[in-house]
Amino acid sequence: MQLLVGATLIDGTGSPPVPDAAVLINDEGRMVAVGARHTVAASPAAEVIDVSGMTLLPGLIDAHDHLAAHGYALTQRWGLDEPQSTTHLRTASVLQQTLATGYTTVRDAAGLDAGFKLAIAERLITGPRLQLSLSIISPTGGLGDRISPSGHSCCVPPNPNVPPSVANGVQEVRQVVRTMVRAGADVIKCATTGGASSRPGHGPKDAAFNHDEMLALVEEAHALGRRVMCHALGGPGLRLALEVGVDSIEHGCYLDEDPELIPMMAEKGIFFVPTLTVYVFHRERSAFHVRERGRALQSHHLESVQRALEAGVKIVAGTDAGGHEHGINARELQYLVEAGLSPMQALQAGTGWAAACLGWEHDLGTVEPGKLADLLVVDGNPLQDMTLLQDPQRIKLVLQGGKICVDQCTKQRVAV
């Protein structure tokens, strides 16, 4: 058993911080007692870890990452710039680095295959708990269609563990959903619009899929026990995704343009993963047409986040990292605060609400008895300065299921 004592606890539920808290963890890696230190009965068998003066949080969750992506350039997207083995090792190092920055769980929004999950389970490498989507399902011409701006198809043979994801018509949609599940998808990712970075001609408000196709996709995914995360920025494709009842809207930049959309989200309990970080990158560093799209959507995106928050929609932190830099996932929490969430709400967006979005709230997301001890101890108080979560020096302790993955406080350990 382990007993963490002395930190200020922010438990991820939105409750006020608890000073001088204690968390008792059993040998199965689950928390058995949580609260102010005097309320937690210490077991004599427990190893005591003194984290006084620091802040204890649930392990962070990124609900939209592309851990196996290493740049937006076509050569990188198609894997032409280096041997596949090099890319896989690069991905492994991203997994380790992401965990080391306090991210104990990641939902991968396409690209990462189930082999990485297996490698983590076999302890070949360390990494966050993974919820995988494998590929983005779209019709021909949509986001899942691997075609270059020159009109050429991808020349690299497909990885069978990341199945082809173009589907036209109800039958193909059902078949592709089943193929994803067979290859190890925990969640189904689809796209009903273009995006900022998609090819010219398929932009943020250009629709993909018709009503029957999307209804079939959601039905099939739910029948197989998978949630649906849907890339949708604006226009009729965004409305379609909400109407057929996807489980989360990724990006949602133009939700503010149709007054019926946000109430519909609130009523159906659909999560909103705005991924603010990627648009900062697109506005500053991407190709010309992408920068233009990123700038055009900015004010709508902020308005959408604010209105969704007011309507009671759960906002969830996701970075869309992969095209842009890995390893600074906590920037999203800073941007959510700048977009109008309170610091406490931003932390919920990266912990409790994120776990609920993944459907893993029974085990993860908050510091409560019964849940897995995925925990983060930081030097300083993120409610006063959210940016400190981006500084690896301030990440003092990371536990995943009670196992210590990062330990920069060994000096303070006391054996009892």
Residues that bind Zn ion (CB under 5 A): 109, 320
Neighbour count for residue 61 (Cβ, 10 Å) = 33
In terms of CB distance, is 186 or 320 closer to Zn ion?
Answer: 320
Q: How many CB atoms lie within 10 A of CB 157?
A: 6
Query: CA torsion 103→104→107→108, rounded to 10°?
Result: 70
Cα–Cα distances in Å, from 373 out to 27, 71, 244, 315, 365?
10, 33, 36, 23, 10
Run of H or E residues at 356 = helix 352-358
* Secondary structure (H, E, C), 297-347: HHHHHHHHHHHHHHCCCCECCCCCECCCCCCCCCHHHHHHHHCCCCHHHHH
Q: Work out how close the CB of 64 gets to Zn ion at its nearest, in angstroms, rounded to a whole number.
A: 6
- Compute the least distance from the CB of residue 187 to Zn ion, in Å: 13
If the CB atoms of residues 109 and 253 are measured against Zn ion, the closer one turns out to be: 109
Nearest distance from residue 297's CB to Zn ion, in Å?
A: 15
Cα separation, 302 vs 338, in Å, equals 9
Residue 135 CB, nearest approach to Zn ion (Å): 12
Would you say 10 or 109 has its CB closer to Zn ion?
109
Phi, psi of 313 (to 5 degrees): -70, 140
Residue 251 vs 394, nearer CB to Zn ion: 251
CB of residue 154 to Zn ion, shortest distance in Å? 18
For Zn ion, the closer CB: 109 or 309: 109
Q: Residue 109 Cβ, how far from Zn ion at the closest point, in Å?
A: 4
301 or 396: CB nearest Zn ion = 301
Nearest distance from residue 185's CB to Zn ion, in Å?
15
Task: List the structure tokens of 54.
Answer: 């620091």
Query: Closest CB to Zn ion among 64 and 394?
Result: 64
Using only C-alpha atoms, the chain has a radius of gyration, in whole angstroms, of 21
Task: State the amino acid at position 288 in one-letter form.
Answer: F
Residue with structure tokens 């899929």?
A: 209
Cβ neighbours for 109, distance < 8 A, ≥ 6 positions apart: 64, 65, 66, 133, 136, 189, 229, 231, 250, 318, 320
